[in-house]
Amino acid sequence: MITKIISYFCFLIALIITLTACEPAVPIPTEVNSIPTATKKQVVESPIDVATSTPLPTFTPDPYTPLPTFTPFPTFTSSPTPLINSQLVDYWFAQYALATPIRTPVAQMKRNSPRVYTTKGNVYFQDSNGKAIQITDSGKDQYPILSDDWQKVVFYRGDNYDNLHSINTDGSNERLLVTSKSLPTLSQGEIKALTFQPKTHYLLFNTYLCNPRPTRPSYNAPDCTVSIYGVDTDSGDLAQIVAGLSGNTMQDRNFEISPDGQYISVASSGHINIYRGYEIYYQNAVVYNITRPDEYLPRQFWLPDSSGLLAIVSDDEYNEPTAPPWSYAVYRYKLGETAVQIPLDKTIVRTQGDTSCVSPDRNWIFFSGTGADIDFSQWMGEGQGYLGNLNNGQTQAFTQFGVPWGCAWSPDNKHFVAYGINSPLGFSPLSFIGSVDGSLPIPVSGSFLEWIDNTHYYYETYENGKVESRKVYIGEITDN
């Protein structure tokens, strides 16, 4: 009996121990630390791996609005009748000047804004009333540019792009601003991309120090070390803004300044970074494909309100040595957001010249284009001109004879000119003016030079292709 009681008692003890062991464990309190706020770090320019970049989001177009249908092109004869009012003018640039100029006096036309130009190596300033004065007399000056307030002129002196001068538009205060020998990292390189910061006398420019690639064929574009400098054209104070960028001799600039003067967009090594002052403010704003063997930099167009930019980038993997790639796409970037591709329903293509141009308001693009699914390995350069809407991607065919050599927009964004179009009858290359409302095109009775204002432009003519017969006219778009 006692043995049974002891056995039962042992059983109870074992059962109690087992049940106690099966109770859930009491959690041990732990201290939870908050994630520290990331500290701001300085960003340094460096190449990125484009293949691992984040895919761009899908572009959302504006609601569909049909583009205008262009009126039929006029029929051409051996002596086409001009559809514009014209007058012969005295118009001179260094690149067009003749040994024996033909100077026919006419009433000067009032311009929207003054301009500067060179004749026989001397700089001239022409005011908005058409009156021109000579402000330099070295006989060696070229490619002048004018500040926004029309008070300061900057120009090259000499045959090379390595000596930079400035002068006031009244001919006073001429000074040597920069010589390549004075720049610490340039050493006999070239000074390019002269650009006034808006509403200031502060000038930005690129420096290119280039050398042939020792391991590459000589026909490849030489590699360059590219920098961005700034100089106060009043005081001569010089500063380096960005250094050590990659580049080559295919292009002569890698930056653009926003209209408000606050930002500088810089393209290099597969991305566009946006600077404010000396620091990167938005990194990798636009990521683009690095073409081989020569990197082709995107063309950049700031929006008028400085809220972002458009970038025309190559979507090719390769390019012919020293030549731009064949096909391109357009991206829109808003500050602080992600770039999106604008889905034009035609492909932008390269021909002999600069055959895409964006309107000043950034709503339109005129371009040489072809079908979206073309095989560029078999492409022979065929195509035609198109007007594209950059808000919804729609396109409308414009030229019917072939691709233009170049194009330019009127200041009011309504008219565009396509020039250098091959004539179907063997005449000299043609120029046409089109309109976004479809009310044109009309032919230009010569070779287009530049817009004067919203409805007037310069064009030139030659007799039998002889340079000495060159004459320059003012053309006018009328409502007739």
Point out the least confidently predicted range of 100-114, 223-237, 260-274.
Answer: 100-114
Per-position DSSP letters for 186-246, written without gaps between them: TSS-EEEEEEEPTTSSEEEEEEEEEE--TTS-TTSPPEEEEEEEEEETTT--EEEEEEEEE
* Pair of tokens at residue 215: 């391991």
Q: Which of 154, 121, 152 is nearest to 138 (CA)?
A: 121
Return the CA Rg of the chain: 31
**pLDDT tens column, 82-91:** 333 334 343 3
pLDDT tens readout for residues 304-345 = 999 999 999 998 888 777 788 888 999 999 999 999 999 998
Closest CA to 361 of 280, 416, 422: 416
Give dist(CA 451, CA 459) in Å, integer: 9
Q: Are 122 and 137 in contact (CB under 8 A)?
A: yes
Secondary element (H or E) of residue 16: helix 2-21
**Kindly report the CA angle at 143 between 360 and 105, in degrees rounded to 5?**
90
Model confidence at 133: pLDDT above 60: yes
Which residue did the predictor score with more confidence, 475 or 27? 475
Q: What is the pLDDT of residues 272-282, one digit of tens each?
A: 999 998 999 99
For the chain, the average pLDDT equals 74
Q: Which residues of 402-413 are buried (b: 16+ CB within 10 A; e: fewer)?
A: bbbbbbbbbeee
Distances (CA, A) of 412 to 160, 359, 364, 451, 454: 36, 9, 12, 11, 6
